[in-house]
Amino acid sequence: MSDVILEMKNIVKEFPGVKALDGVSLTVRKGSVHALMGENGAGKSTLMKCLFGIYHEDGGEIILDGTKEEIMNSKQALDLGVSMIHQELHPIPFRPVMENIWLGRFPMKGIVVDRKEMIRKTEELFKELELNVDPEALAGSLSPSTLQLVEIAKAVSYHSKIIIMDEPTSSLTENETKHLFKIIRSLQDRGVAIIYISHKMEEILKISDDVTIMRDGQYVGTWPAKELTTDLIIKKMVGRDMTQRFPEKHYTPSTEVVLKCHELTANDPKSFKKVNFELRKGEILGIGGLVGAQRTELVEAIFGLRGIHSGSLEKDGKELKIRHPKDAIQNRIALLTEERRATGIFGVLSILDNTVIVNQKSYAHAGVLNNHERLEAAEKANRELRTKTPNMEELIRNLSGGNQQKVLLARWLLTDPDILILDEPTRGIDVGAKFEIYTIMHKLVEAGKSIIMISSEMPELLGMSDRVMVMAEGRVTGILEASEADSVQIMDYATRFAEKEPDLLEESEGL
């Protein structure tokens, strides 16, 4: 009996102006982890959406367990034993976790939903997967990493033969990623096949049995993971050698302080406390830390999205009063948020509108918008970032995650900020696009701009930062020059907590 569970043969999918898939094939074995790799826009997610019934292929065939299938919708895919964990999470925030998991298949007692049975089934599922989550907690109250684990649990609950995981670790900590790998191994033991999409090379080489690489909507090839290296994967993905992951540094940060944060404390007592740091002109200040370190909360407060209880901010020696994002923008501070789908893009608007929306007033003359100026600015900004799109009128939601991120970066660059805050700027972006964004960052600091970059990727933090500030439980536990920063030192600071005395740092137990 063949061990092949899935064959996708010569799949073609076209959108207006774009051939997203051009004769792509994929063969997946039972009980294997099959990685699907390629740059943003290579067609990975589109291929998986054809398998899951979100899109219907324009050509080719799908064979599941030896039977040719026409998968017309996601319900049919689930019935056939295919489930999918999407890159962008879409929970129903004001409903309990258990309802999010069993939506459309609630256990019933007559004509009434059996809540006790739903709780029991959810607890049983979480126990099996060793997840410590309250089934009755509102989905909207969970952190992105916990929501990601709940989505994984939901996919497992279907008892599928194939589970598609699209960037499943993008919001997970190192320990949570290890937990996910443990879940994957147990699924493999049951004969479940995992199709795994990720840009994290180390993960791919650690977890995968087979690797299929795509480029520009076409099939490049499939190899056993044990025959590949990071350099080989990158070369096959981008069609060229990439001898370095980060651009060479051709700048020296100034000693001039552009932003000073003094004893900054959040309104929320559980958030950041007494934070002190300085941002210099022409530098990249990296902020490292584990989930719960309050890094995002800190930069959102600086941008006016969260309340500040006490402390002060100074820019160029003058005190700032930022109570709203418009105050930050007027002071030439920009923020690229962590969750682009939830707090970045306007999905129903075009790339043009998404790019110019913050800078809209500058294209208005006597109260009338100059559409030619808007289009020219948007095209130039996106061209510099090499955003892949047929035209500026395309809806941004139709772009890959990486290209959406480029549009958001273009949006803020049009405001010509002095300080650019980037929260996980390359999350879910391939190595080629990462390098392009890193190059843009270097050009900005060379021009005298200053960047604050939050990153959970240690190589990125070390490779791009001039200094690294580490936070733990809302406190700054250390600031390191690039020359003295290494992963061991950063993790040491990241796993500390501050006692009542700000300077008294102890090793944290249980982390």
Mean pLDDT of the chain: 86
Residue of higher predicted confidence among 273 and 340:
273
Q: Distances in Å between the alpha carbon of 372 and those of 352, 362, 369, 375?
A: 11, 12, 9, 5
Per-residue confidence band for 17, with pLDDT thresholds at 50, 70 and 90: low
**How far is residue 57's CA from residue 79's CA, in Å, rounded to a whole number?**
19
Of all residues in the chain, the percent with pLDDT exceeding 70 is: 93
Neighbours of 488 (CB within 10 A): 7
Q: 4-91+142-238 and 257-332+417-507: same fold?
A: yes
* Residues 437, 406 contacting (CB under 8 angstroms): yes
Domain spans in the chain, listed from the N-terminal domain onward: 4-91+142-238, 257-332+417-507
* Residues 3, 184 contacting (CB under 8 angstroms): no
Of all residues in the chain, the percent with pLDDT exceeding 90 is: 46
Question: Containing H/E element for 5?
Answer: strand 4-15
Please give the pLDDT value at position 510. 33
Top-level class of domain 4-91+142-238? alpha beta
Which pLDDT tens digit goes with each residue over 194-238?
999 987 788 888 999 999 999 888 999 999 999 998 888 878 877
Which pLDDT tens digit goes with each residue over 74-110?
999 999 999 998 866 678 889 999 999 998 889 899 8
Quick one: average pLDDT of 408-436?
85
Strands (E), 366-502: 368-369, 419-423, 450-454, 467-472, 475-481, 496-498
Quick one: average pLDDT of 60-68?
94
CATH fold label, 257-332+417-507: Rossmann fold (3.40.50)
Please give the pLDDT value at position 506. 33
Q: Distances in Å between the alpha carbon of 113 and those of 26, 75, 78, 261?
A: 41, 21, 22, 52
Least confident of 87-96, 135-144, 492-501: 492-501
* Residues 246, 438 contacting (CB under 8 angstroms): yes
Top-ranked range on mean pLDDT: pick from 385-389, 404-408, 502-506: 404-408
Helices (H) and strands (E) in the chain, counts: 17, 26
Strands (E), 144-289: 162-166, 193-197, 210-215, 218-224, 257-266, 275-280, 284-288
Model confidence at 448: pLDDT above 50? yes
